[in-house]
Amino acid sequence: MKAICLSFGVALLTTIFCGKADAGTHDWAADPLKEVQINTVAFRGWIPDTTKPLLGVLVLIPGRHGDGRGMADDLRWQKLATDLDFAILACQFSNGEPYAYQTDAHGEVAKCINTAVEHLSELSGKAELKKAPLAFWGVSAGSNVSSRYCVFFPDRVAAFASSTGTCGPGGETSAKTMEIPMLFAIGGTDKPDWVKCSRENAERGQGKAPWTVALQKTQGHGVGKSMDVIVPFMLATVKQRLGLVAPSQSSSSVFKSELPSIGSHPAASTQKTLKKLSLQSGWLGNPDTYEVAAYAGYKGSKSKAIWLPDEPTALAWQTYLQGQ
């Protein structure tokens, strides 16, 4: 098993919201997470202004001990959620032990996120959200928390994107976890051990999983311009997983709030499903030259190339890595 590198960095994107919430905004606090010694657990949910049924929830998790609730008020995140017909769940895990919640050994944080989604469903009157698919974004420690959720509930995750996470997808992955589209925006000038750990873990999926590595050589630890590639990646992969565009082979995905044992998966259900993506239907990028092409037309070594879900993401990846 690859080592998991924990984030010692400062919390990022920690806007604290003051004043009256919008009609589509819901705030609440949860009980402390005793096992991982986190005393402050709070959430902000945001519901787009639409009469259409919502298709899922975008879960946003900040850096170590950050208060990420303000991200629910960020117009860029709201635009992405609206384009996907998703709600937003922005999280705060703070005031306590700094590292145990990142490793989440027994899934206490993962279960808490499921409970928070159910609570948002009740508060908003959007019953369809209770068992809906989730798409995750995390920065630094928030990426580690997101990747642990992917271990415990892989069938529920439509996609996962990370900004300078310190361990990539982590060392504990299963065949089901490898089906999740993941993007890892890695800062080349970040702490060397974090870069090494994240790259090694992420590159285990190269040529085998729908995982995208975006190593920006001049980027440090933080969000930087990673959203420029994360937004098109999330748009493409979530829509493909939901079967809204470019449908590919489907997998039987199941959504339950109970915590399965590691290595096991919830029983099959036809209520909610996600599509298994075909690597051959995507694009590929050269990690050295940043040249991109559709899978069939790619001239280099496909096993060493970076997988990309579609042309807009490929072009955004290229521009991000070139630093333009």
Report the SS3 class of residue 305. Answer: coil
pLDDT at 182: 96
Q: 40 has which bridge partners?
A: 94
Angle, CA 40 vertex, CA 37 and CA 41 arms, to 5°: 100
pLDDT at 167: 87
Element (H, E) at 239: helix 227-241
Pick the CATH number of 25-322 from 3.10.180.10, 3.30.1330.60, 3.40.50.1820, 2.40.50.140: 3.40.50.1820
Q: Which of 269, 192, 187, 249 is nearest to 221 (CA)?
A: 187
Q: Are strands 86-96 and 211-216 parallel, antiparallel or unpaired?
A: unpaired
Report the SS3 class of residue 201. Answer: helix
pLDDT at 155: 96
Where does 188-282 show beta strands of DSSP type E?
A: 211-216, 250-251, 274-275
pLDDT at 189: 87
pLDDT at 272: 63
- Report the chain's terminal Cα–Cα distance, integer Å: 37
Q: What is the dihedral of CA 105, 184, 83, 208, to 10 degrees?
A: -90
Written as one letter, the residue type at 278 is: S
Element (H, E) at 308: strand 306-308
Q: Are strands 157-163 and 56-61 parallel, antiparallel or unpaired?
A: unpaired
> What is 45-93 written as a DSSP string?
EE--S-SSPP-EEEEEE-STT-B-GGGGG-HHHHHHHHHHTEEEEEEEE
Cα–Cα distances (Å) from 210 to 21, 105, 186, 230, 309, in that order, read 38, 25, 17, 14, 8
CB-CB contact of 37 with 100 (8 Å): yes
Low-confidence ranges of the chain (pLDDT < 70): 1-23, 246-272, 324
Q: Domains of the chain: which residue ranges?
A: 25-322
pLDDT at 269: 31
Radius of gyration of the chain (CA): 18
Report the SS3 class of residue 92. Answer: strand
